[in-house]
A and B are shown apart, each in its own frame.
Chain A
Amino acid sequence: MRDQIDKYMGKLLADRSACPDGIAFAAQDDVLITAGAPGLAELAGNTLSRLNSLALVAARPSLPFADFLIARTDAEEECIVPQDTETRTFLHDIPFLRQKDLSGDPAPVLAKLLGNRKGVIVEGVGIVAVGAITVEQAFINYSSVFHSTFVKYLQDVLADGFRLPGEREAFEAFRSQWLRPLSAAGLDFVPSLPGDKEAILAEIERVGRYTVERGLVDSFFGNISAVAGELIYISQTAASLDELKGCIDPVPADNSSTTGITASSELLAHRKIYEQTGSRVILHGHPKFAVVMSMLCDRKKECSIKDCWKDCPHVRDLGGTPVVAGEIGAGGLAKRVPPVIGASGSAIVYGHGVFTLGREGFGEAFATMVDVENFCREEYFRRVEEML
């Protein structure tokens, strides 16, 4: 398991979600092992040894948003409730421990919280996330909590402004130092995707890697596909977009085989998009600013719909990209995205992520996703400045 720990420690460094000197893992098979920053490693080991799970990560996030969220909550609150679809679906809520409530060894109380939820925020310490059966799962859960707190904090700032000492400065540092320009520059794409299987698989693998490397997903989730004749080549469910070799299912258009049962949960959406647009490729990611902006709605006060993320029937607009509601998988997204995505080549799903198309290859789809996220980023900061 040490190789797995090394691998996912590397991923946390690569995606810059954790401080380089603040990452630790613990894993247990018949023996418990720990690795990383000594203090956190001890906490990770002491916590995991109390759990009937295989792995745990304890890391200090590279942004202070999680701590700010805790400090901004009322004194009686014990958890953060994320609003974005992905994290709400899988995390439900994120419990936290306040610094003032920590005394002695926090491992017992931490283990108790992790006995009920996948990730916990410990104020002043970091995010602690558990992996029930793999080290990768601990990494995914850490990333989900990081993504969720990122999105929620940006939403809260836009709604309520800064409320704590140091928030404004941290936010400015985030904007000027942590964020990097987003572009497709320097990436190679096959201009017109050929029809042969090997070339298609190679291009999907490469573009999947680009999508992770440019930060267009949380952890490594999202999905990607290309159509060739009667086959849709689509990434498998729970596949790392940056490691797609061997994880792409060829699915017959007529459903004459069920080998694609392991395909992405968005297979139906992809199929219907192809049917309605005639596009060649589809890229789906979870770029953070698009997720944040998709949840802003001017009509919330007068609207009677409460579960906007699944029930909103309206098509809104973000810089020319339609925004629709819909749950993931068989829950509605597959109905609402296909009719609206053709005109602009992109669509945003409320609180979830972005779908983009390519008529010939992935270059267009990738560039469109970058454009959508850049528009949302700029629009977000424009609104923050306007509000402040």
Chain B
Amino acid sequence: MFGWTGKLLHVDLTRGTCERREIPTEILHAYLGGRGLGVRLMRDFFRLDPFDPEMPIIFAVGPLCGTNSPTAARLACVSRSPLTGTIYDCSAGGRFAWRLKAAGLDAVFITGQSDRPVFLAIDGARTELLPAGALWGKGVKETVASLKERGSVTAIGPAGENGVLFANIMMGEGNSIGRGGLGAVMGGKRLKAITVQGEGTTPVADRERFEAARGDVMRLFRASPVIFGELGISEYGTPALVDLMAQRRMAPTENFRATFFADSGNYSGPAIKRECGAKKEGCYGCPIQCKKASAQGEALPEYETVNHFGALNGISDLHAIVRANSLCNELGMDTISAAATLSAFGEARGRFPDPTEVATLLADIACRRGEGELLSLGSRRAAEHLGRREVSMSVKSLELPAYDPRGAYGMALAYATSNRGGCHLRAYPISHEILRKPVPTDRFSFSGKARIIKIAEDVNAAVDSLVACKFAFFGATLEEYGELLTAVTGVEYGPELLKTIGERIYLTERFYNCENGFSRADDTLPERFFTEPGSGGEGIDVPPVDRERFSEELQKYYRIRGLDENGSFGGRNILEEIP
């Protein structure tokens, strides 16, 4: 078999067993890998509580991993989110994914709960569960340093150990499996870390076709101003978006009460480069290298993080923002949810935290002490506890990232329809509404957006299953990645077939969510966006989102998806209709 290994490592932490199992070829062909494979493997478990010991947590690579397909050294981590209650996946890059494939695995399926802290060590065909008592309570850096001799490391920090609902799983090279709290799921299993090394290679079915497709992808990367342009993400990282979002008047500010922060220039891409000596870093094997590190090697914050620890909390001090980012990474917490929860807390009590208090509160959240105990539950639960449900700027309990939906109506719809809650990456309409890729669309119009969002959700589900980085699609398309996939696997995949696979994955996720009680009532935005305007200026008006048009477009979306008016399947069991 080309592209896939056909093997899954099944780990039962309760019994302390590890065994390699076959993955049916037809499942690999139908779901590819990564997110798709993980979602498919959840079929018998999606109803379990996220903290049920039997709830699996799955790490899955894709068929392109292990080749030099651009941006494809990635994996998806899949489980059920304790923060949102939805099915959950997160894509992460780095050497870990590459080595997992090199160890001969398409996926690691971890279930059960250990009675003591352990870490999973994978070294080629050899697998062990080893004591991690000495590591329990340690930060991410120390944990990774302790285990680095065993290869690539992914680990949780104190936040994951303590069950913070937005705890991350941190990759040793600085990437993170973020947002939905899968670090807490891992912590609940008393699994501190996974190490992996392997020497295997991924054979390519048609090398000549592969090189041609790779050349096409790279040509499109070079033609994309967002990727390799002199003001693009390769040069400045995602903070290249700070100035643009400010200019477009859609940078969430002071818990989304405003959409413009006058001091955002303090943490723009050029400012970070100047003040922190930002140098290029990135995921293993990725030509874009959009991550940035300081001259001292410290990971520098992404766009979402600088905006949320900046404008969202009224903080303009770049170095304070960098410190907050580093602290979250060390404690193993999601920066978007952490900053947004602090912001909601700030609005509820009438005062946003200053930089010093931010650091204190982050540590308290990770350790679940003092006010941190409440804030560790995320903004929705914290706001409800405070009697101020309206200050949680979240969808399905997932805190919204740094694109105000009043400034991009496709984004507004996509937040609502996202299967994992308020996430920008499911449909990523910022690509066309703001960055003009592949073609521009009118950001202040709902026209056509239901269909566009549906298509983009399908496309991105396929992308997350290849697994490739979404930033690659600021230049390339499924046409070129379909060619890469065909060349690697020897199985013909074109863009339309990949979209069909993406649709299958998306509907499966939606079905899981509906079975767990999600419906139309959850597919909406916080009330603020329908009633309060954003910060207009420089000829740009940012009115509230038109509730009626939003609802109309949502119903269109349901019809396009084949759902009923409630956004549900109307008694249909789609799992019986798909592989």
Contacts and interface: CB of A to CB of B under 8 A. Distances in A.
B494 to A, nearest CB: 4
Contacts of B574: none
Interface in A317-335: 327-331
Contacts of A1: 447-448
Nearest to A52: B499
A132 B455 contact: yes
Contacts of B496: 51-52, 111-112, 114-116
B494 A115 contact: yes
A132 B436 CA distance: 14
A263 B247 CA distance: 14
A144 interface: no
A112 to B, nearest CB: 8
A328 B218 CA distance: 12
Interface in B432-455: 432, 434-441, 447-448, 450-452, 455
Residue among B225, B268, B434, B455 with max Cβ neighbours from chain A (10 Å): B225
Interface in B419-467: 432, 434-441, 447-448, 450-452, 455-456, 458
A89 interface: yes
B497 A261 contact: no
Contacts, number: 156
Contacts of A268: 229-230
Interface in B205-225: 216, 219-220, 222-225
Given A89-B219, A132-B438, A329-B229, A54 B224 contact: no
A259 B247 contact: yes
A78 to B, nearest CB: 14
A46 B432 CA distance: 27
A66 interface: no
Nearest to B271: A256
A147 interface: no
Given A265-B225, A327-B219, A259 B244 contact: yes
A295 B499 CA distance: 37
A114 B479 CA distance: 10
B242 interface: yes
Given A29-B560, A115-B497, A237-B436, A133 B242 contact: no
A137 B477 CA distance: 14
Given A51-B496, A52-B499, A261 B232 contact: yes
Contact of A262 (B268, B434, B477): B434
A238 interface: yes
Contacts of A111: 496
Contacts of A255: 230-231, 270
A29 B448 contact: yes
Interface residues of A, number: 50
B448 A258 contact: no
B232 A29 contact: no
Contacts of A214: none
B268 to A, nearest CB: 7
B228 A330 contact: yes
- Interface of B (DSSP majority class): helix
B482 interface: yes
Contacts of B241: 258, 261
Contacts of A251: 231
Contacts of B448: 1, 4, 29, 54, 133-134
B264 to A, nearest CB: 11
B559 interface: yes
Nearest to B539: A246
Contacts of B220: 89-90
Interface in A105-133: 111-112, 114-118, 132-133
A30 interface: yes
Nearest to A261: B231
Contacts of A132: 438, 455, 477
Nearest to B431: A133
B439 A238 contact: yes
B141 interface: no
Contacts of B436: 236-239, 262
Contacts of B265: 257
B224 to A, nearest CB: 7
Contact of A263 (B228, B231, B447): B231
B98 interface: no
A279 interface: no
Nearest to A257: B243
Contacts of B223: 89, 265, 327-331
Nearest to B213: A92
A133 B438 contact: yes
A364 interface: no
Residue among A51, A133, A327 with max Cβ neighbours from chain B (10 Å): A133
A262 B244 contact: yes
Contacts of B226: 237, 261-262
B270 A134 contact: no
- Interface of A (DSSP majority class): loop
Contacts of A271: 230
Nearest to B219: A89
Contacts of A262: 225-226, 244, 434-436
A345 interface: no
A53 B225 CA distance: 25
A264 interface: yes
Interface string B32-48: 00000000000000000
B547 to A, nearest CB: 19
Contacts of B495: 115-116
A116 B494 contact: yes
B310 interface: no
B556 interface: yes
Interface in B533-561: 556, 559-560
A260 interface: yes
A92 B437 CA distance: 18
A116 B447 CA distance: 26
Interface string A60-89: 000000000000000000000000000001
A92 B479 contact: yes
Interface string A135-165: 0110010000000000000000000000000
Contact of B270 (A115, A237, A257): A257
Nearest to A135: B448
A267 B441 contact: no
Contacts of A133: 432, 438-439, 441, 448, 451-452, 455-456
Contacts of A34: none
A90 B436 CA distance: 16
Given A52-B500, A89-B219, A259-B247, A116 B479 contact: yes
Given A28-B451, A29-B556, A327-B219, 6 more contacts: A257-B270, A258-B244, A262-B435, A267-B229, A267-B230, A330-B222
Which 9 residue pairs of A and B lie closest in terms of their CB atoms, listed nearest first?
A: A115-B496, A116-B494, A329-B223, A331-B222, A330-B228, A30-B556, A30-B559, A52-B499, A258-B240
25 contacts: A30-B451, A52-B458, A52-B496, A54-B452, A89-B220, A92-B480, A132-B455, A133-B452, A134-B441, A134-B452, A237-B436, A238-B436, A247-B440, A255-B231, A256-B270, A258-B240, A258-B244, A261-B231, A262-B435, A267-B229, A268-B229, A327-B219, A327-B223, A329-B228, A331-B219
